[in-house]
Structure 1
Amino acid sequence: MNGGFYLKTRNVFYLFLLLNIMNYLDRQITSAVLPLLKESFHASDQALGVLGSAFMITYALIALPFGMWSDRWQAHKVAAIGAVIWSAATMLSALAWSIESLYVFRALIGIGEAAFVATGSTILSKLYVQSRRARILALFNLGMPIGSSIGVLAGGALGVHFGWQFAFCIVGLPGLILAFFTWRLRLDRNPDHQKHAPNMDTSSAQININDVKQLFGNKPFILLSVGYAMISYGFGALSFFGPTLLNREMGYSVDAAGLVLGAIIAVSGFIGVPIGGYIADYWLKRNGRARIHVVIISMTISCALLYLGLQLVSIPLIAASIFFLFWHVGVISSLLYDVTEYRIWNTATALLLFIMHIIGDVPSPTVTGYLSEQTNLLFSLKMLVIPMLLAVVFFSWMTKYVSSKVSLTDQNITHSS
């Protein structure tokens, strides 16, 4: 008899939402204590930026092997293994004795989170029909603003009052508990799942390197990946240096900066993420390119507000920019599944993550930190508008390959060359 237990579809969703919250909480804890790390290790902005890059390098490189593995094996167990790795590495970060040792621990966190991110959204996508997918993934991706805001808020408060070491140690524990339940979960032959996604195939796909080659020949997939990378470049550096911006340029203390930015992320994301998903799903009934249009419109508005906010050093304008920036979360995941084959969704997700991170938020913290050292932090953050506008160009280009006609299937793509 196989061990484990069944959960109703909505409870599987809640479990993975909690995991996603911890995923972003553990990721964001570092940015909250950057001023404390700078003081403790006497580090430059560029050296601090490498912390973000160290995390993202392993995150990008490991995602594809984990994605391919989870297409062959039980994806939820791959996610559980990832949660154990990232949670343990977060706790071990408390033992860092130098900025270089912290690079190593952050790199290990990237390995763990890559395993979860390569599988989590795909598992949920297979549990829900296409017409509900953007909304479900938008709600799942509320883990980003919720986890990030808690990480920034709790990290700043715990770091100031108990030390940055305690902050790392305490936030890693919940992920280990959630990993246990995820490992024990059973997704095969569950009648409740069939009600939500009657065509769900629970068998393991047999994939090979040719599937990866096929994805590189998929033009809308490549445009989606590069466009997403440009969003990630901007958002990665902005979220990483956000608390430092409030602390250094606006006069907030470390814990107050965490409180303010945490509140901005929480409110903007909690409202913006589902709005983007709901608008995309509603509009999709009338236009097959609706999801692409939602990303184009929201990113254009976000870029304008971000530049003005940094130019005027205005928190309300920066907050408004972050609100529109969050609209893409969930929508882009749905777009990925619209333009790729069902049987290799995990691999496609992992390859998207690799491309998105390796040219997006892998270099952006380090480059932004370097520009900050050469000029100032405000100028380096203003430069993030450039890649974000490039994202608008790539998504606009993508409309050439996606039909405007409404499709009742999971494939809206037209194979025009």
Structure 2
Amino acid sequence: MHLHAHDAKAGSGNDFLVPKGQAWFAFAMTFGLMLFDYIDRQVIVSLFPYLKAEWSLSDKQLGGLVSVISIVVAAAGLPVALLADRFSRVKSIVVMATTWSLASISCMFAGNYSQLFAARAVVGLGEAGYGSVGAALIASLFPARMRSALMGAFFAAASVGSVLGVLIGGVVAARWGWKAAFGVVGVPGLVLALMYLAVRDYKTVALTPELTKATRSASDLLGHVAKALTRSRTLLWACLGAAMQLIAVSAVWSWLPSFLNRVHGVAPDMAAKQAALVVLAGAFGAFAWGVLVDGAGKGRGHVKLALVAGLCVLTTVLFCTAFGLMPSGQGQFMVILLGGFVMTCTVGPIAAVTFDVVHPGVRSTGAAVLSLFQNLLGLALGPFIAGVLSDLWGLQTALAVVPMFSLLAAAFFLVARSSYDADRAAVNHVHVDAATGPRPKLTQAHA
């Protein structure tokens, strides 16, 4: 699979694939579901104090309740995205949203850790591939010149959803118990899932013989993805860099409420509200950095990668200073807040860089490759590593150490920038059209 190429039409940077109103409706609906994707994921972190007290759980076990979703998303994301690419992105998203919403509701009936862990795994199964398929849909409906900003805005929904999940979980648990929180956040996703059927899809793109063979089964796809990663240094190093940055992001998001509760002595519901401010700063950061990097890079991916690398270094400096050198207090929290704004710098630009080097016929699948790295090596590891280090050294020390992974992210992005131009220029010939009927139809690629 050339996980390469941009399309001639959308890639020109000037045209919407569908009327603007339909494109923005698709964006709004996709953003809304991404919001509830992360509300359902992150509601658990504000419930950690209650779960720890009721079931005597270790920090490693608590971290596992976050990590299991990312592990399942990583394992199932590629097959789900492959099916969506070849059949229907819209219908696939409807099924995914319905599944994760029902699974989230089921968490309120868990009677022990094992049952809750299993229910959280099913939440991950429903969410598998959603970010990839949703991002591919947006990237195809809008002009390529808007991709970094749109991807930043789309993935900012993850931050906003995390904020709402933490806030809702803290408030509901304080009033009605931790189990009620899962029921409150699960229902709205079901409503949005049904509304999503009105979103306009794009036609399934005909593949080259090589791509057709590679997408016949999950095993063939995995083998071809491995070859594609070997051929495309940009894709490989960008994926690795994105994963390393998300180790820091997911660790801070997952453990900041507990840090404020244990170290600062803040009540669990208030700790959730303060931590939500940091996650909200990340939402603004994801969009702001997407716009700024788009403007500064002006279509030059190697410049975007260099800028993002510098922001990753800044992430390390801010968090290591806050957690490792500063005393508890308002000053420390302000530096943490600034770090929250900077640390989401990768989500828009790196998604855009990935789409620049992915064949439109497997755009969801290409995004799933990025998602695989982000979830398995980033989002899954961050909460777990921080939990293990917290059990060994204490939570504050753990949060001072984990952000050093951002330095690795910076190094990987600098390696990726050296091959971006060549990888993008290698394939520049595939056309994408909007779907006109309820079922996507094939449109032939042309040179």
**TM-score of the alignment, normalized to the shorter chain, above 0.5:** yes
Cα distance in 2 for residues equivalent to 1:371 and 1:213: 32
Matching residue of 2:69: 55
Shift of 1:162: 0.8
1:323 aligns with 2:341: yes
Matching residue of 2:254: 240
Match of 2:53 among 27, 39, 44: 39
Shift of 1:263: 2.1
Cα distance in 1 for residues equivalent to 2:236 and 2:403: 21
Q: Is the 8 A contact 1:276 1:294 kept in 2?
A: no
Q: Over the residues paired in the alignment, what is the CA RMSD in angstroms?
A: 2.2
Determine what percentage of the aligned residue pairs are the same residue.
26
1:171 aligns with 2:171: no
Shift of 1:410: 6.9
Cα distance in 1 for residues equivalent to 2:407 and 2:290: 21
Match of 1:296 among 305, 309, 313: 309
Provide closer, same or farther for how the CA distance between residues 236 and 264 of structure 1 changes in structure 2, counting only shifts above 3 A: closer
Cα distance in 2 for residues equivalent to 1:43 and 1:141: 31
How do 1:374-389 and structure 2 match up within 5 A? 374-389=392-407
Matching residue of 1:309: 322
Cα distance in 2 for residues equivalent to 1:214 and 1:131: 29
Shift of 1:292: 0.7
Give the 4+ runs in structure 1 shifted more than 6 A: 404-407
Matching residue of 1:369: 387
Name structure 1 gaps, 5 residues minimum: 1-5, 189-200, 412-417
How do 1:254-273 and structure 2 match up within 5 A? 254-266=268-280, 268-273=281-286
Matching residue of 1:285: 298
Deviation digits for residues 134-176 of structure 1 (CA, Å, limit 9, x no counterpart): 1111121221221111111111011111111110111000000
Provide closer, same or farther for how the CA distance between residues 53 and 270 of structure 1 changes in structure 2, counting only shifts above 3 A: closer
Shift of 1:404: 9.6
Query: Which AA in structure 1 matches 2:114?
Result: E
Query: Which AA in structure 2 matches 1:159?
Result: A
1:94 aligns with 2:94: no
Match of 1:79 among 93, 102, 116: 93
Matching residue of 1:11: 25
Match of 1:144 among 138, 158, 161: 158
SS at match of 1:43: coil
Query: Which AA in structure 1 matches 2:297?
Result: L
More deviation in 155-164 or 342-351? 342-351
Q: Is the 8 A contact 1:80 1:116 kept in 2?
A: no
Cα distance in 2 for residues equivalent to 1:20 and 1:76: 14
More deviation in 272-281 or 152-161? 272-281
Matching residue of 2:417: 399
SS at match of 1:80: helix
More deviation in 316-325 or 285-294? 285-294
Query: Which AA in structure 2 matches 1:306?
Result: F
1:130 aligns with 2:148: no
Cα distance in 1 for residues equivalent to 2:143 and 2:343: 26
Cα distance in 1 for residues equivalent to 2:106 and 2:344: 31
SS at match of 1:106: helix
Q: Is the 8 A contact 1:287 1:405 kept in 2?
A: no
Provide closer, same or farther for how the CA distance between residues 106 and 30 of structure 1 changes in structure 2, counting only shifts above 3 A: same
TM-score (norm 2): 0.83
* Higher RCO (Cα < 8 Å, 6 or more apart): 2
Shift of 1:406: 11
Query: Which AA in structure 1 matches 2:345?
Result: W
Deviation digits for residues 50-103 of structure 1 (CA, Å, limit 9, x no counterpart): 112222211110101111111111011111111111111111000111111111
Q: Is the 8 A contact 2:356 2:424 kept in 1?
A: no
**When the two structures are aligned, how many residues end up with a matched partner?**
392
Provide closer, same or farther for how the CA distance between residues 119 and 308 of structure 1 changes in structure 2, counting only shifts above 3 A: same
Deviation digits for residues 340-374 of structure 1 (CA, Å, limit 9, x no counterpart): 22221111111221122222222332222121111
TM-score (norm 1): 0.89
Cα distance in 2 for residues equivalent to 1:124 and 1:344: 14
Q: Is the 8 A contact 2:247 2:403 kept in 1?
A: no
